[in-house]
Chains A and B, each alone.
Chain A
Amino acid sequence: MSGISDVVLELDGVSIATSADTSGRTLVHDCTLQVHAGEAVGLVGESGSGKTLSTRAVAGLLPDGFAVGGTIRIDGEDLSLLPAARLRDVRARRLGMVFQTPRAHLNPFRTIGDFMTEALVSVAGERADAAASRAMDLLDEVGVPDPSRRMRQRPGDLSGGLLQRVMIAATLAMDPRILLADEITTALDVTTQEEVMAVIADLRRHRDLAMLFITHDLPLAGAVCDRVVVMNQGRTVETLPAARMREQARDPYTVRLLSASLPGDVERRTGAPAEPILRVDGLRKTFRVRAAKGFGHDEFVAVDGVGFDLAPGGSLGIVGESGSGKSTTARIICGLETADAGSITVKGEDWTRPARGSRGRRRRARIAQMVFQDPYQSLDPRQTVRECLTEAVALHRPKAPRPEVTARVDELLANVALDTTLADRHPRALSGGQRQRVTIARSLAADPEILVLDEAVSALDVTTQVEVLTLLDGIRRSTGVALLMISHDLDTVRRLCDEVVVMRSGVVVEQGPIADVLDRPAAEYTRMLLDSIPREGWVPRRRRPARTGALPSVATTTTAIPRGGTR
C-alpha cells in the first residue's frame, strides 16, 4: 500500500436509486471505498452488484432519473458542493474513464485524430498542431504503431484492442490523477487483454496514475491491483489486500467468488478407447468476402484441416480465441454451415453435408443438438417455457398423447433443476442462467447423444457458470451424452472436459487429454494462452512492443479478415 495519505477518489456511503415517481428502486445501497494516489484498486462484482453504476456516478454518466446519495470526493473536493462548471472541469481534468466497448464511445463518423485532439483544443486550449503532435506521442506511448496513419482513420477501421488503447491514450491527454477502467478487457481475447494490462501497468509506473479497475474477473483484479473491493447487490462487502485475498477473505460471498474462479476437480474419464461417436477429419471451410482493399474477392480460411475424435459419453473442449474457427467447426458439425472439404462421421454415418429436408434434420436432431452462447436470444420470446419444451418434445414424439408429452416436459425441467413454477413464464422473466437451463432442456428433449455447447456459459456470471457447468457434467454422467464444448476460456474447459483441442486461425495447434495439454503444453501458442490467464502472481507482459496484436480480435466467425492480414 502506498505510504502517501493523499486520497484521490473517495466514495462514502454512496447510494443510487431510480427516482421515486417511476419505480423508486434502490440499485446501490452503500458503496464505500478509497483510492490513494498511485494506487490501483479493483472493484469486483457480478452483474447487478452496482459496480458500474457507482463508477458512472463518479464520472457523471448516470442516465437521467437517477438520484445519488452519500458523498463522492475527488482530491478531497465534495462533488455535490461544486458549481456545475467547476464540476465539469474537475471531472474532465482529474478523471480518465475507459469503457468496455470503446467502439460505442467513439463517434463513428469522425477520425481518431479528431477524437484525440478535440479535448485538447477545446478544453485545454492548445493549438491544433500542438494538439496533433501530442496526440501522436500519446498513441506511441500506448503502443499504437504508425500513429499518423491511425489518426486519419475512423473507428470502424480499427480492432477492439487497438481502440481500447486509443481510448486510454485519449484519457491520458488531460493528465488525469485517476483512471476509471470499466470492464475494459472483458470483450477482448485473453492475449489482447494481457497486452492492454501491460500497457496500463507501464503507464501507471511512469505517471504515478491511480486506477479504479472495475471487473467481474476476481483473479485478474487480484493480479493487477493493490487492493480489491468486493461488491454484492449494491453493497461493498469487503476490502482486501490483493496479495492476500485468499487467506483474508471472510465474507461468504467473497469466498464463493474465489472458489468459483478456481479450476475445479473434475473426475477424469480414462476408459478403454471405444469407437468414436463423432469423427472429424481434414475439415476445411473458406468464406468468400469482398476484398477490403481494391477489387475482387478475398478468401478467408476459417477452418483448415481440422480433425479430432469424440468418444461416446466423452467430453471434448475446443479452445481458441476469436477468429480461431472453433465456432465455425461446431456449426458445420450441426449442419448450419457446409464444409468445403474434409469429412464428418457420426456413428458411422456421413454428416459432411447438412441434412436434406426437415425429416433428415429431425433424424440428426435425435443424435446431435446445440446450445448457443446468448441465453437472451436462444429462446423465442413469444413462447412460454412450457410451450417451447412441448414443441421440442412433440416434434420427436409426434404420436404421443398429451399426458405423455407433459410428463416428459416436467421430466426435462427436473433434469435441468428448474422449478416447474417457472414453466409458464416467458423468457423475459427468467435470469440468464435460467434461460440457459431452458435451452439445455430443449436440446435434451430429443435424447441426443452429442451435445455441442458453443460458448454456452460465456455470457453468464461466474457463479452461475459454475452451476451450469456442474449441471452439464451431471447430465453427462446420468445420460451418457457426449459433450463438445467450444470456449475461449481455458478454465471452463478444464472444469468440464476430458480432452481438449487448441485452435488458432483455423488450424489445430495441439490436442490431447486435458491434463497433458494444460499442464505440459507442447505448442508455444498453448503456452502463451496459458500464460495470459490472470492468476496469483501474474504479471502482464508486453510481448510485442511495437505491434498492435497479430491475432485477429474480431468477435464472430462471420466477420471477415483477409488471410494473414492484420489490422
Chain B
Amino acid sequence: MNAGVVRTLAGKLGELALTLFLASVVIFSAVLLTPGDPVAALAGGIRPTPELIEAIRAQHHLDDPVWQQYLHWVGGVLTGDLGTSFVYKTDVAALIAPRIGVTVLLVVYTAVLIAIFGIGSGVLAATRGPKADRAVLIGTSIGMAMPTFVVAILLIWVFARVLGWFPVYGAGDGFADMAYHLTLPAISLAVLYIAFFSRITRGAVVGQLHSEHVDTARVRGIPRSQVFRRHVFLNASPQILAVSGVTVAGLFATSAIAEQAFGIGGLGSLLTEAAARKDLPVVQVISLLLVVVFVVLNAVADIAIAVIDPDSAKPRRNA
C-alpha cells in the first residue's frame, strides 16, 4: 500500500470519527429536544420528588452551558460512567453489562447464518444454471417479505406447538445452552438478510461471470475453479463486503425484535423497554453504543475492501 492509499484511508477514518462525533451530539440533544423540562425528560415516566430533581440536576450538570453538559456526558461514557437510570434506579452500566453477551452471541450467530446461507445461495443461483437460479429467486422473493417478527411467530408456532425441537423462550445458561436457545431467534433475524445477501451476491457474481476479464481468463485455459475463486468471487467480494458492514451493524438494532418475541434479556429488549418507559439516559447510551458499532464495522469493511481493491482507496484523480 502506498502513501496515497494510506492517506485516503486515514481520511476516511477521519470522516467516520467526525460522523461519530456528530451522531453523539444528535443523541445527546435528544434530551434538549424533548418537549418539556429536561429534568422531566431525564426522569422518564416517573414523577420526580424534589430531592430527585436536585440529584438529576447535579448529575447532568443542567446548570452548566449546553456544550459543557455534552462534554460531561461524552467524557463519562468514555471513562465508563454511563450515567444513571432514574426509572430503573440503578447505574446504566449495571443494566447493560449482563445483557451485552447475549446480544453479541445472537448477532454473531445470525451473521454466520447469513454468511453461509445468504452468500452460499447467491453463488448457487449464479453458477448452477437457470433452475437453481429460479428456485433461489422464488425463495428470496418470499424471504424479503418475511420480517423478523413474522418468522418469529411462525417458528414459535411450529416449534412450540407442533414440534418440540427448540425452546421458544429465554436465552439459557452457558454457551451451549445459549446457542440452543438462540437458534430460533437467530433464524428469525436471518431470513430477511439471507434473502438480501443472496440477491446481492448473485448480482455481483453474475456481473463478474459475464465480465471480459473472466472471459479472457477462461479462454487462456485457466481451470474453472481457479477462475471462480481468483477472478469471479474475488472481484465480487467488495460489493458483498460493502453491504456486510451496514448489515451487521443493523443487526444489533434489529435484534430487539427477536429478543422481544422470544423473551430474551439482551440489549435490544432493554432498549425497547426503556423507550416505552421514556427512560432517556438508557436509550441514549444504547443508541450511542449502536452507532459506535456501526461506524467501527463500516471502517473494518472499508479497510477490507481497500485490501482487495486498492484502486477504490486511491486518491480520486479529477479536476
Asked if A377 is at the interface of the complex by the 8 Å CB criterion, the answer is no
Give Cα distance in the complex from A287 to B318, angstroms.
Answer: 9
One of B219, B223, B315 near A292 (C-beta < 8 A) = B315
CB <8 Å contact, B213 and A91 = no
**In the complex, which residues of chain B have a beta carbon less than 8 angstroms from the beta carbon of A61?**
215, 219
**In the complex, which residues of chain A have a beta carbon less than 8 angstroms from the beta carbon of B311?**
108, 154, 156
CB <8 Å contact, B317 and A560 = yes
Chain A residue nearest in CB terms to B213: A107
One of B2, B219, B309, B310 near A92 (C-beta < 8 A) = B219
8 A Cβ contacts from A521-567 to B: 558-560
One of A109, A123, A287 near B235 (C-beta < 8 A) = A109
Indicate whether A156 sits within 8 Å of B314 (C-beta atoms), given known contacts A105-B212, A287-B319, A293-B4: yes
Binary CB contact string for chain B from 40 to 79 against chain A (1 if under 8 A, 0 otherwise): 0000000000000000000000000000000000000000
**In the complex, which residues of chain B have a beta carbon less than 8 angstroms from the beta carbon of A60?**
219
CB <8 Å contact, B316 and A294 = no
CB <8 Å contact, A558 and B318 = yes
One of B215, B221, B315 near A123 (C-beta < 8 A) = B221
Binary CB contact string for chain A from 438 to 456 against chain B (1 if under 8 A, 0 otherwise): 0000000000000000000
CB <8 Å contact, A289 and B317 = yes
One of B3, B314, B318 near A294 (C-beta < 8 A) = B3
One of A106, A289, A290, A291 near B213 (C-beta < 8 A) = A106
Total interface residues on A, using CB and 8 Å? 39
Asked if B144 is at the interface of the complex by the 8 Å CB criterion, the answer is no
Asked if A477 is at the interface of the complex by the 8 Å CB criterion, the answer is no
CB <8 Å contact, B221 and A88 = yes
Indicate whether A97 sits within 8 Å of B219 (C-beta atoms), given known contacts A108-B311, A289-B319, A290-B315: yes
8 A Cβ contacts from A412-454 to B: none
One of B4, B210, B223, B234 near A290 (C-beta < 8 A) = B4
8 A Cβ contacts from A72-122 to B: 88-89, 91-93, 97, 99, 104-110, 114, 118-119, 122
CB <8 Å contact, B310 and A154 = yes
CB <8 Å contact, A123 and B222 = yes
Asked if B128 is at the interface of the complex by the 8 Å CB criterion, the answer is no
CB <8 Å contact, B309 and A119 = no
8 A Cβ contacts from B207-263 to A: 210-213, 215-217, 219-223, 226, 230-231, 234-235
Asked if B308 is at the interface of the complex by the 8 Å CB criterion, the answer is yes
**In the complex, which residues of chain B have a beta carbon less than 8 angstroms from the beta carbon of A292?**
4, 315, 317
Give Cα distance in the complex from A280 to B234, angstroms.
Answer: 51
Indicate whether A107 sits within 8 Å of B318 (C-beta atoms), given known contacts A123-B222, A154-B310, A293-B2: no
Give Cα distance in the complex from A477 to B309, angstroms.
Answer: 54
Asked if B134 is at the interface of the complex by the 8 Å CB criterion, the answer is no
Give Cα distance in the complex from A104 to B211, angstroms.
Answer: 8
CB <8 Å contact, B212 and A119 = no
Tell me which of B212, B231, B308, B314 has the highest count of chain A C-beta atoms within 10 A of its own C-beta: B212
Asked if B7 is at the interface of the complex by the 8 Å CB criterion, the answer is yes
Chain B residue nearest in CB terms to A156: B311
How near does chain B come to A61, taking the closest CB pair, in angstroms?
5
CB <8 Å contact, A109 and B309 = yes
**In the complex, which residues of chain B have a beta carbon less than 8 angstroms from the beta carbon of A291?**
4, 315
One of B211, B222, B314 near A119 (C-beta < 8 A) = B222
**In the complex, which residues of chain A have a beta carbon less than 8 angstroms from the beta carbon of B317?**
289-290, 292, 559-560
Give Cα distance in the complex from A232 to B128, angstroms.
Answer: 39
Give Cα distance in the complex from A92 to B223, angstroms.
Answer: 11
8 A Cβ contacts from A271-328 to B: 287-295
Asked if A471 is at the interface of the complex by the 8 Å CB criterion, the answer is no
8 A Cβ contacts from A328-354 to B: none
Give Cα distance in the complex from A91 to B220, angstroms.
Answer: 8
Tell me which of B213, B220, B309, B318 has the highest count of chain A C-beta atoms within 10 A of its own C-beta: B220
8 A Cβ contacts from A16-75 to B: 59-61, 63
**In the complex, which residues of chain B have a beta carbon less than 8 angstroms from the beta carbon of A106?**
213, 216
Give Cα distance in the complex from A105 to B218, angstroms.
Answer: 11
Chain A residue nearest in CB terms to B318: A558
One of B213, B230, B318 near A104 (C-beta < 8 A) = B213
Tell me which of B219, B223, B230 has the highest count of chain A C-beta atoms within 10 A of its own C-beta: B219
CB <8 Å contact, A118 and B4 = no
Chain B residue nearest in CB terms to A95: B219
How near does chain B come to A73, taking the closest CB pair, in angstroms?
18
Give Cα distance in the complex from A293 to B314, angstroms.
Answer: 10
Chain B residue nearest in CB terms to A107: B213
Indicate whether A92 sits within 8 Å of B231 (C-beta atoms), given known contacts A287-B319, A292-B315, A293-B2: no
Chain B residue nearest in CB terms to A286: B319
**In the complex, which residues of chain B have a beta carbon less than 8 angstroms from the beta carbon of A295?**
3, 7
One of B220, B234, B314 near A118 (C-beta < 8 A) = B220
Give Cα distance in the complex from A122 to B220, angstroms.
Answer: 10
CB <8 Å contact, A558 and B235 = no
CB <8 Å contact, A91 and B4 = no
**In the complex, which residues of chain B have a beta carbon less than 8 angstroms from the beta carbon of A156?**
310-311, 314
**In the complex, which residues of chain B have a beta carbon less than 8 angstroms from the beta carbon of A287?**
319
8 A Cβ contacts from B268-319 to A: 308-311, 314-319
Indicate whether A119 sits within 8 Å of B220 (C-beta atoms), given known contacts A61-B215, A560-B319: yes
Question: Mind listing 18 A-B residue pairs with CB under 8 Å?
Answer: A63-B210, A99-B216, A105-B212, A107-B217, A108-B311, A109-B234, A109-B309, A110-B230, A114-B230, A118-B226, A123-B222, A154-B311, A294-B3, A294-B4, A558-B318, A558-B319, A560-B317, A560-B319
B→A interface (CB under 8 Å): 2-4, 7, 210-213, 215-217, 219-223, 226, 230-231, 234-235, 308-311, 314-319
7 interchain residue pairs of minimum CB distance: A92-B221, A290-B315, A123-B221, A105-B216, A287-B319, A119-B220, A104-B212
Known contacts A99-B212, A106-B216, A109-B309; 18 additional CB pairs below 8 A are A88-B221, A99-B216, A104-B212, A105-B213, A105-B216, A107-B230, A107-B231, A108-B235, A109-B235, A119-B222, A174-B221, A290-B316, A290-B317, A291-B4, A291-B315, A292-B317, A295-B7, A559-B317
